[in-house]
Amino acid sequence: MEPTFTIGEFIKAAASSPNQNCVRVARRDGWTAVWDDKLAAEHASLDTALPGEQLLYFTDQQFDAFQEGLRAGRADLYLTTRHDDGVYVFSADAAAPQPVDGVELHFSVAEVEAFRSGVLNREFERTRLS
């Protein structure tokens, strides 16, 4: 079963905006969660538990494979889809069943580029976050 994650467990890439509007990643107990910090409630604190409706869950192995593919320049990765309006949608496919169906996270080009930089610079490695 997927763990519950709190806001304080998530990090963003060094290239991200100093304010919110970032792709954030947390890793614990063999799981990786991806979150859009724009979804944070106004009065949330670092120990606020995040609802499953705001998270994409992956096993560590699935997320590591995603990162390896991104670093290898693969364009067919299942995590992102770019819409005509320039917004990227992060979602999961059948290989990564979710505790809450239909979760999609929406990010701008700048947010995705910062996240990509973090992946390329190995900022979300299991050894750094677990």
**Closest by alpha carbon to 35, among 55, 8, 58?**
55
- The confidence score (pLDDT) of residue 83 equals 78
Q: Provide the whole-model pTM.
A: 0.91
Alpha-carbon gap, residue 110 to 63, rounded angstroms: 21
Do the domain assignments include residue 1? no
Nearest to 95 by CA among 47, 58, 44, 130: 58
Query: For residue 130, is it within any domain?
Result: no
What is residue 75's predicted lDDT score, i.e. its pLDDT?
A: 60
Please give the full DSSP string across 51-90, using - where no structure is assigned.
Answer: PGGGEEEEEHHHHHHHHHHHHTT-S--TTEEE-TTS-EEE
Residue 27 DSSP label: E
Q: Would residue 47 count as lying in a domain?
A: yes
Residue 129: the pLDDT is: 73
Domain count, the chain: 1
Structural domain span for residue 21: 7-125
Tell me if 57 is assigned to some domain: yes
Q: What is the mean pLDDT of each run of 10 residues along the chain (130 residues)?
A: 94 89 94 94 92 94 91 72 83 84 91 93 88
Query: Residue 41: what pLDDT?
Result: 87
| pLDDT score of 24 | 96
